[in-house]
Amino acid sequence: MYGYMRVDLVSGEVSEWEERIRNFAAREGFDLGTVFHEPGPDRPAFNDLIHELRRAECRHVVVPAMSHVWHSGPAPGSPGRHRLVARLWEETGAGVWVADPEANRISVRVADRHRSPRAS
């Protein structure tokens, strides 16, 4: 398993996230290779990751959150947003694991509705 993170998305907590990625890999039974650090949205480290996945015939990548492999352009749910995940799969057969599932949790707020009294 290899790690990948966008440094601009972890707010100076690079070493903490590396540790979380290491712990996740160990907990899931993987040996962790390099954690690739992407400085920003340009993606040169992503290309290096693709190359290493091919070389090592590795099929697993772990990220802090899916936002690290989402394209920043289109809205959530649009096909373009997931093109990096698709590229990992198409070019290397690798799937993406998330080190912190809480980072991907969607909160749904339930609005309090004013209930009218039932007629008897």
Is the predicted pLDDT of residue 109 greater than 60, yes or no?
no
Closest CA to 73 of 43, 38, 36: 43
Closest CA to 65 of 27, 24, 93: 24
Chain segment 81-104, per-residue pLDDT in tens = 578 899 999 999 999 999 986 655
Query: What's the token pair of residue 81?
Result: 């947003």
pLDDT of residue 101: 65
SS3 category, 73? coil
Q: What is the DSSP letter of 5?
A: E
pLDDT of residue 43: 82
pLDDT of residue 81: 59
pLDDT confidence bin for 40, thresholds 50/70/90? confident
Q: Which amino acid is at 75?
A: A
Is the predicted pLDDT of residue 54 greater than 70, yes or no?
yes
Closest CA to 63 of 42, 94, 93, 90: 94
Packing angle, helices 44-56 and 83-92, rounded to 10: 30
Q: Does domain 2-103 have CATH number 3.40.50.1390?
A: yes
Task: Give 105: exposed, middle or buried? Use CB within 10 Å, 0-12, 13-18, 19+.
Answer: exposed
pLDDT of residue 112: 45
**pTM of structure:** 0.76
Is the predicted pLDDT of residue 108 greater than 50, yes or no?
no
